[in-house]
Structure 1
Amino acid sequence: MCGYHRAVDMISEVIGSVRAGNVGARPVHASGAWGMRYDAFAGSGFHILTRGDAWLITRNEEPVALTAGDVVLSPSGAAHGLSHAPCGFGELPPAVMAVEPPPVEPSDVEFLCGAYRLDRGRAHHYLRAMPDVVAVSPDYDRHPELRSLIGLLGADTAADRPGTRATRSALLDLLLVHVLRLWLEDEGGVTWPALDDPVVSPVLREMHASPEKPWTVQRLSASSGLSRTAFTRRFTAVVGEPPMTYLMNWRLDRGARLLRETSSPLATIARQVGYATEFAFAGAFRREYGVSPGRFRKSV
């Protein structure tokens, strides 16, 4: 149970990181023979099948049958497709993302699509550690709040109204939280090894809670109780990248979120994420995101 609560904390941080992207959601209706391909993108997305049956199509796995209520999650934007019948991924035409008019009569299949698109950067490390595409079959009797959220998102995507950007972002946040929780439950709550490692997990919590501290490998290893070499080896094996690389990415992810969600001056954000000057932060941000912090803030 303790590991599960640590994972829920990580979900909060994952949600915070994807908020640096642009949010989109739309309903899709299909009848007869249909299929569509969603190519890979930087970000996270999901589909909620609200009516009818469908098949989840991926490049390397067998097609997966879906029924109404199932949720498909692409944690780090991997390519996938949906179809009326099993087929090869290459047989599917690309999805057209334009807004559709409401159907005159009920369609055979209806689903909601939602995504956070990161124009710059990449999906959070823990999202990239998940399978490329996962399908979840929620128990709506146990989780009636999820049914309510899906209903709200359906109503929100039916028409654009004042405040749509705020409501859609909040609904996608909540839906992604619930879907990730359900997936963790299905997997037994142990899916991200770093969260259960007795040495690495406490260090990660310190790095996440206080990115502004002048961390070094020496300070981090001292916190872990291991030698510098042993700590670096263990952290890299568990997390997938060296500690200072992870810290830099975490700081820049946090900075991107602050640029999007606040109007704080660049110098303030730089200090909050561990950079001595705004120039140092701006240089690192530009190398990772390919654009200056100011232009990034304007773009979102």
Structure 2
Amino acid sequence: MDGLSDVITVARAGRPRSAYVRWHAPWGQRFASVPGSVGFQVILEGHCRLLSPHAAPVRLEAGDVLFLPHGSGHTLADSPATAVAAPACSPDDAELPGPYASDSVDRLGRGGPATVVLCGAYRLGPSRTHPLLLTLPDLIHLPAGQDRHPELHAAVRLLTAEVGNPRLSTSVTIPALLDTLLMYNLRIWLAQQPAPDTPTGWAAALNDPAVTAALHAIHRDPAAPWTVAKLAAEAGLSRATFARRFTSMIGQPPLGYLTWWRLTAAARLLQATEAPLRSIAAQVGYASEFAFANAFKRTHGLAPSTYRRRN
């Protein structure tokens, strides 16, 4: 595993949701904010407007992707003049109904030109949200274009086919394709970030070979007896230079991040497996179940067994 892959595999809680929705003009739909989620909208056919009370309407064309890392509320409509319907879902809707249900929906309207949108959302584990996601803006617009982001649009085509025409194994294929789509969104956003005068933050870290090497080492083998010196050797830097660069980019010292990652990975194992606590403790680098339980409670506020029951 690596730091970017784990943004998805560790943070996600439950199954992602998706839908293939066809609107006919005139139409307008407000999507409520859903804290603790990641959402996206892909315009498959036709066009529409992204409306905001604080900015001019943005025209969205077929192939455009909207990525909402914090589940922010937003509004889509065929025209800025169209009346907007009530929110499609509310923050308390655990199953994300309406356009966020895993289904294909045809909203007939009054028979005007159609706009087809692929909608999707992830629930995030609140105690496991990766710090990279916290640094992203509320909304990322990735415009379509000739030969622009071909991998992203290939994933969109595959996902559209599965959602629009469910078949054998679709229940397995859709979550994997949603993970792929989210990964391409993150890759593209990271690649588009300009090089800052003073490199800080996760975008800079994942474009820095030395810090990335240390992150890969931690994520590849969190149970290893890492020290700052050993991680500096992975990065090919002196101990002092490595510690300074890692801390400035990641926002915490190397061993602080190592502890956070170990206990985040442990939370995922507690939720997703039935492995005994002593096994999970060993997998994330703790010599005893007692030491692991104390560290886990300090970070997550619950004993490991209680966390497992509640999740």
Normalised-by-shorter TM-score class: 0.7 to 0.9
| Corresponding residue number in structure 2 for 1:74 | 68
3-state DSSP of counterpart to 2:20: strand
Q: Which residue of 2 aligns with 1:182?
A: 188
Classify the secondary structure of the residue corresponding to 2:239: coil
Could you tell me how far apart the structure 1 residues matched to 2:52 and 2:254 are?
33
Counterpart Cα distance in 2 of 1:220 and 1:129? 24
Cα RMSD (Å): 3.8
Question: Where does residue 98 of structure 1 map in the other structure?
Answer: 97
Task: Point out the more displaced range, 166-175 or 261-270.
Answer: 261-270
Return the alpha-carbon distance in structure 1 between the equivalents of residues 294 and 50 of structure 2.
42
Q: C-alpha displacement at 1:159, in angstroms? A: 7.7
The answer to whether the 8 A contact 1:80-1:133 is kept is no
Map 1:5-154; keep pairs closer than 5 Å.
10-30=3-23, 31-57=25-51, 63-75=57-69, 77-84=70-77, 85=79, 93-96=86-89, 97-99=96-98, 102-103=105-106, 108-139=114-145, 141=147, 146-154=152-160
Shift in CA distance, 55/126, structure 1 to aligned 2, threshold 3 Å: same
Question: Deviation at 1:261?
Answer: 4.8
What runs of 5+ residues in structure 2 fail to find an aligned partner? 90-95, 197-201
Aligned to 2:289: 278
Among 189, 192, 213, the residue aligned to 1:202: 213
Alignment of 1:136-285 (within 5 A): 136-139=142-145, 141=147, 146-158=152-164, 163=169, 165-187=171-193, 192-197=203-208, 199-217=210-228, 220=231, 224-227=237-240, 232-285=243-296
Counterpart CA distance in 1 for 2:106 and 2:75 is 19
Letter in 1 for 2:238: G
| Distance in 2 separating the partners of 1:193 and 1:163 | 39
1:125 positional shift: 1.8
Report deviation, 1:126: 2.0
Deviation at 1:18, TM superposition (A): 3.3
After TM superposition, give the deviation of residue 158 of structure 1 in Å.
4.8
Can you list the C-alpha shifts for 1:247-300, whole angstroms capped at 9, x where unaligned? Answer: 222112322343455443332222111222334434444554455545655676
**Offset, 1:210:** 2.2
Q: State how far apart, in whole Å, the 1-side matches of 2:136 and 2:62 are.
A: 24
Question: For 2:180 and 2:76, how far apart are their aligned partners in 1?
Answer: 27
Distance 1:171 1:216, change over 3 A: same
When normalised by structure 2's length, the TM-score is: 0.72
Shift of 1:214: 3.1
SS at structure 1 position matched to 2:282: helix
Change (3 A) 1:32 1:59: closer
Q: Cα distance, 1:33 vs. partner?
A: 3.7
Distance 1:274 1:150, change over 3 A: same
CA contact 1:71–1:137 (8 Å) conserved in 2? yes
The answer to whether the Cα contact below 8 Å between 1:46 and 1:114 also exists between their aligned partners in 2 is: yes
Q: Percent identity?
A: 38
Code of the aligned partner of 2:59: A
TM-score, scaled relative to structure 1:
0.75
Aligned residues: 287
CA distance in 1, matches of 2:116, 2:310: 32
- The answer on whether the counterparts of 1:44 and 1:123 sit within 8 Å (CA) in structure 2 is no
Residue by residue over 1:119-140, the C-alpha shift from the partner in whole angstroms, topping out at 9 and shown as x without a partner, is 4324322222233321112447
Letter in 1 for 2:32: Y
